Amino acid sequence: MIPLELLAPARTADIGIAAIDCGADAVYIAGPSFGARQAAGNAIEDIARLCSYAHRFGARIYATVNTLVYEEELQEVQALVRELEAAGVDALIVQDPAVVQLSGGTSLVLHASTQCAIRTPEKARFTESLGYGRLVLERELSLEQIRGIRQAVEAELEFFVHGALCVCYSGQCYLSEYLTGRSANRGACAQACRNLYDLEDASGRTLLRNKALLSLKDYNLLHRLEDLADAGVVSFKIEGRLKGESYVRNVVKAYSEALDALVARYPERYGRASFGRVRGGFTPNLDKTFNRGYTELFLDGRRGQWSSMDAPKSMGEYIGTVERLRPDGFTLKPAAMDIVLSNGDGMAFTAPDGTVTGFRADVCEGFTVRCKRVEGLREGTRLFRNISAAFERLLESARPVREIPVSLQVSLGADALEVVALSEDGREVRHRAETGSAARANQPDRMLETVKNQLEKRSGHYSFTVSSLETGGDLPFLPAAFLNGVRRQVAEQLDNLPVRALPLRKGVVNPEVKAPAALSYKDNVANSLDRALYASRGAVEQEAAYELTHRPGAELMRTKYCIRHELVLCPKQGKAQKAEPLYLRNGKERLRLDFHCAVCEMTVTR
């Protein structure tokens, strides 16, 4: 049986706990530093609290230590690794090979971050040889490419299934560093790919104005989990360590239900990587949470319309057009009559100049909306709802509960109540409660019903089911308080036993696998440990990371996304003789786009 893992993001420990409650098998979160999202750091104490909560369900916590590490930071990173281990973290998500060496001697499993830019079997084999037990693959891969990597390595494979998409190959984006001095590889990405640009040809003629030409739609592979599992993926990762709790809960619950359905279809082949069942709560709806429109990107090996150039921010669901402006708002011509507006709904529209404007609906009465004056709102404007106030209230009020099923074998005699409890993860406890001088039950059948009903109530994070109930001799009368005490004591005994969590795969270092003889700035060599490691693997030329050199003429981005294809200007589409360079203009900054049709890629340079 192959355990499948749903991996959720967490900006904070509380969001991580919410993700566990909604069905996540694992959570990834940053410690206080060296995470690839500077704005999502957490204290070690909070990491420990999250680990304690997750481990009761056999769920895992992965800490992101996935930035480049400079020479003067090596000792600080080593200390952080030890603190994370002591907090109970199960694995580290790592970009810089130095962190692999600095974690030596710990119990931590190592996962190669998507920042390692793993998109070929050769790169996968080399990365695995450094000691990683899991490889987080590039998002741009097809199922066929994933299968090729699966055949090349023994390590587990992890793949993003939902959330924001970087337009550039991961770990090799230097545009933010070039424009602002904020390195994506150091956790400080300025998200220049979401900026508005003009598109020019070589002569300076403007082809498009004020478009987010490098902005992609969001990933959504909710209905492709079976295909990914069949290709060899065992961990399904949701992007969003900067997202709020309502986003995480909605998305996690949607994917957890889809993963449960997959396991139910193939119970002999697949299982879940953690324990516990999610009960109750809201019905998830991915259209009602943050998104820029959805895409499956290159999963089937085909190009589609990947760009969100008209809406680099979340637009949400289309709700209709402005029918008539009013002094205090407007009336909406709805896209469908089942649309229900609520006070506080967030709405958005795209102005003719390409900018996205958002506003709140103060009071909604049917399709009449009262709000403050919104600049640029006109009759006929297409409106989207990017915040559903009613859905947000539902997310807050209808919280699901996660429980570990426990089967009870109960034996009731005149002198004692004996219980054998077996939890979903295989823990077994035995409990005997003397009934003492309890009076004889006048109604034995009713007493047995009471015993079953009281023992099957929830206690802590356990849900109990009486699988068998045997009796012998005269039955004693047992009050509800006595039975409740038995149930609580069984729960305490289970808590005193370690959860039988499924093991993570540890990596194995294989020094026989060689590095390329020459490493470029795109290999992100940032410290002496990196240099020594690569030299020991046969790299005789090593260029330092871009952040340390700002190499003139460097590729600032290399992407699978192609603006020419998106605008139907690709020679393969028969719309152009040759893929001449184009240019992005943002104020005084002009960036060159080159099109490498043989490999179907686009590069951005200065």
Do 136 and 237 touch, CB atoms closer than 8 A?
A: yes
Provide CB contacts within 8 A for 488, sequence distance 6+. Answer: 459
Predicted confidence (pLDDT) per residue in 464-505, tens digit: 999 999 998 788 999 999 999 999 999 999 999 999 999 999
- Name the pTM for this structure: 0.95
Predicted confidence (pLDDT) per residue in 242-276, tens digit: 999 999 999 999 999 999 999 999 999 999 999 99
Residue 31, token pair as written in the block: 């410690």
Q: Which domains does the chain have, with CATH numbers?
A: 2-165+217-274+282-288 (3.20.20.70), 313-397 (2.40.10), 404-495 (no CATH)
Q: Order of strands, edge to edge, in the sheet holding 197-200? A: 206-211, 197-200, 582-586, 589-596, 601-605, 557-559
Alpha carbon of residue 419 to chain centroid: 40
Predicted pLDDT of residue 498: 93
Q: What DSSP element (H or E) covers 45?
A: helix 44-55
Q: Could you write out the three-class secondary structure of 223-279?
A: HHHHHHHHHCCCEEEECCCCCCHHHHHHHHHHHHHHHHHHHHHCCCCEEECCCCEEE
Rounded CA gap, 203 and 224, in Å? 44
Predicted pLDDT of residue 576: 67
CA atoms within a 13 Å half-sphere pointing along the CA-CB vector of 406? 34
Residue 274, token pair as written in the block: 């953690």
Predicted pLDDT of residue 89: 98
Do 57 and 20 touch, CB atoms closer than 8 A?
A: yes
Predicted confidence (pLDDT) per residue in 268-280, tens digit: 999 999 999 999 9
> Which of 416, 414, 421 has the alpha carbon at shortest distance from 455?
421
DSSP state of 476: B
Interior/surface letters 354-383, b for 16+ CB within 10 angstroms, e for the rest: bebebbebeebeebbbebeebeebeeebeb
- Residues forming a β-bridge with 200: 206, 583
Torsion angles phi and psi, residue 498, rounded to 5: -65, 140
Provide CB contacts within 8 A for 35, sequence distance 6+. Answer: 41, 63, 64, 65, 66, 67, 187, 241
> Which of 240, 366, 221 has the alpha carbon at shortest distance from 297?
221
DSSP string, 169-184: PTT---HHHHHHS--G
Provide CB contacts within 8 A for 249, sequence distance 6+. Answer: 18, 19, 21, 22, 282, 395, 399
Taking phi first (over 0 means left), then psi (-120 to 50 degrees means alpha), and beta for anything else, what does residue 538 get?
Answer: left
Residues (pLDDT < 70) of the chain are: 36, 575-576
Strand ranges, E, within 21-108: 26-30, 60-65, 91-94
Q: Could you write out the three-class secondary structure of 105-159?
A: CCCCEEEECHHHCCCCHHHHHHHHHCCCCEEECCCCCCHHHHHHHHHHCCCEEEE
Predicted pLDDT of residue 575: 67
Exposed, middle or buried by CB within 10 Å (0-12, 13-18, 19+), for 481?
exposed
> Which of 38, 5, 36 has the alpha carbon at shortest distance from 23?
5
Taking each helix axis from N to C end, the angle separating 245-265 and 389-397, rounded to the nearest 10 degrees, works out to: 70
